[in-house]
């Protein structure tokens, strides 16, 4: 399996979830070993994607450098991870990634339009060698050794439309598109009203978010999936783990995980050299299944 980028430049325009302002995003190819790089085209600031550049996780994953920031990167990063893209330049002319419909399916469609190209440079994986965990009360996120990449997530909300939900997702590109990509972000009406009062969620509406009042779902078309809420949590977790910069070979397990805990988990993992091994994919039998999962077609 080789490193990948996109074949051609593509762009889209949408609004940012929190500031509610129009944003144009451009995706461009990068050569092998170029990595995933964000660029604020309005400020001329480049922000390489890595855990050290995460500056906020309050309501989204936010990266920043030199007084420039880009918010809500997790849905886009989730799609980029699913498509096995190692090298890409992401330019925006404001401080958020366009939210689109609140899921990652629009980004998947954009990547389909861009096409995928492979280089001769072997890909690498970060293989989990021992369990590692971050907790906050009864909430936790954990990585464990596994022959496959699995995301296992549980949530428990005291709301009649959510309650307890649990979903186990065995990673592959096809399964991601079928099972995860269309799951939308969600919020509670009272929470949305509060966020707007402090200058956030200005772009949130029923077209890009599942909104819940006290008794149920306000979106007239209902849900796209059974367990759409927990599936979106998996979508977010994939995007947050993608910030490691190379694919994960292991199991991610969580109860009520968050962007904050995911960020702490990636930092803790990288600080413990005995917890992981960077493995070259070329000629390695242990990653044959992973290679199949990332098949371009």
Q: Would 297 be classed as within a structural domain? A: no
pLDDT in tens, 226-283: 999 999 999 999 999 999 999 999 999 999 999 999 999 999 999 999 999 999 876 5
Mean pLDDT of the chain: 93
The residue out of 72, 88, 120 marking a domain boundary is 120
CATH no. for residue 92? 3.30.230.20
* CA torsion angle 210 85 143 251 (round to 10): 80
Residue-level pLDDT at 292? 62
Q: Among 133, 135, 62, which Cα is nearest to 97's?
A: 62
Q: Would 278 be classed as within a structural domain? A: yes
How do 54-56 and 62-65 pair as beta strands?
antiparallel
Same domain assignment for residues 157 and 265: yes
Report the distance separating Cα 55 and Cα 260, nearest Å: 10
Residue-level pLDDT at 297? 46
Q: Would 24 be classed as within a structural domain? A: yes
User: CA of 118: how far to CAs of 6, 150, 190, 295, in Å?
Assistant: 9, 25, 47, 11
Identify whether 18 is a catalytic site residue.
no
- Report, in angstroms and rounded to the nearest whole number, the Rg of the chain calculated over CA atoms: 18
232 is in an annotated binding site: yes
* Positive or negative torsion for Cα 202, 208, 214, 220: positive
Same domain assignment for residues 11 and 56: yes
CA 37 to chain centre: 15
Same domain assignment for residues 105 and 132: no
Contact 6, 85 (CB under 8 A): yes
User: CA of 13: how far to CAs of 38, 97, 156, in Å?
Assistant: 16, 9, 35
pLDDT in tens, 79-121: 999 999 999 999 999 999 999 999 999 999 999 999 999 999 9
Residue-level pLDDT at 193? 75
Give the domain range for residue 264.
123-292
Same domain assignment for residues 103 and 135: no
Same domain assignment for residues 287 and 160: yes
Q: Is residue 151 pLDDT above 80, yes or no?
A: yes
Strand (E) or helix (H) holding 238: helix 228-241
Q: Is residue 155 pLDDT above 90, yes or no?
A: yes
Q: Would 104 be classed as within a structural domain? A: yes
Same domain assignment for residues 88 and 173: no
Active-site option among 18, 159, 166, 259: 259
Q: Would 55 be classed as within a structural domain? A: yes
Same domain assignment for residues 179 and 280: yes
138 is in an annotated binding site: no
Q: Would 216 be classed as within a structural domain? A: yes
Residue-level pLDDT at 293? 61
The residue out of 96, 120, 144 marking a domain boundary is 120
CA 26 to chain centre: 18
More confident residue, 58 or 26: 26
**What is the arithmetic mean of pLDDT over 180-205?**
82
Q: Is residue 284 pLDDT above 60, yes or no?
A: no
Q: Would 253 be classed as within a structural domain? A: yes
In DSSP notation, 84-126 reads T---EEEEESSSB---TTSSSHHHHHHHHHH-EEEEEEEPEEE
Contact 103, 235 (CB under 8 A): yes
Same domain assignment for residues 251 and 287: yes
Q: Would 133 be classed as within a structural domain? A: yes
CATH no. for residue 174? 3.30.1700.10
Same domain assignment for residues 168 and 260: yes
Same domain assignment for residues 114 and 133: no
User: How many structural domains does the chain have?
Assistant: 2
Same domain assignment for residues 25 and 139: no
Same domain assignment for residues 40 and 100: yes
- Detail the DSSP E strand segments found in the chain: 2-6, 10-15, 22-29, 36-40, 45-48, 54-56, 62-65, 68-70, 88-92, 116-122, 124-128, 132-136, 139-144, 150-157, 163-170, 186-188, 210-212, 248-249, 251-255, 276-280
Report the distance separating Cα 247 and Cα 32, nearest Å: 15
User: Which pTM was predicted?
Assistant: 0.94
* Positive or negative torsion for Cα 233, 23, 8, 115: positive
The residue out of 74, 94, 120 marking a domain boundary is 120
166 is in an annotated binding site: no
């Amino acid at each position: 399996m080789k490193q990948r980028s996109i074949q051609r430049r593509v762009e889209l325009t949408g609004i940012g979830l929190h500031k509610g302002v129009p944003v144009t995003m451009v995706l461009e190819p990068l050569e092998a070993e170029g990595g995933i790089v964000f660029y604020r085209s309005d400020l001329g600031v480049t922000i390489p994607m890595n855990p050290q550049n995460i500056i906020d996780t309050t309501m989204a994953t936010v990266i920043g450098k030199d007084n420039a920031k880009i918010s809500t990167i997790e849905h886009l990063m989730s799609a980029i991870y699913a498509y096995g893209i190692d090298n890409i330049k992401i330019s925006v002319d404001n401080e958020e990634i366009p939210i689109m419909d609140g899921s990652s399916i629009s980004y998947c469609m954009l990547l389909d339009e861009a096409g995928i190209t492979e280089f001769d440079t072997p890909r690498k994986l970060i293989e989990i060698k021992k369990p590692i965990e971050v907790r906050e009360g009864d909430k936790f996120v954990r990585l464990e050794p596994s022959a496959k990449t699995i995301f296992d997530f549980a949530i428990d909300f005291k709301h009649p439309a959510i309650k307890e939900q649990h979903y186990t997702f065995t990673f592959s590109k096809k399964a991601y598109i079928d099972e995860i990509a269309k799951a939308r972000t969600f919020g509670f009406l009272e929470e949305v009203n509060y966020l707007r009062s402090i200058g956030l969620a200005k772009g949130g509406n029923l077209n890009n978010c599942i909104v819940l009042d006290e008794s149920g779902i306000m979106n007239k078309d209902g849900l796209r999936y059974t367990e759409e809420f927990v599936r979106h949590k998996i979508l977010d977790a994939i995007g947050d783990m993608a910030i490691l910069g190379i694919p994960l070979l292991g199991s991610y397990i969580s109860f009520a995980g968050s962007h904050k805990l995911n960020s702490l988990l990636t930092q803790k993992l990288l600080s413990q050299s005995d917890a992981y091994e960077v493995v070259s994919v070329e000629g390695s039998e242990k990653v044959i299944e992973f290679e199949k999962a990332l098949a371009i077609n």
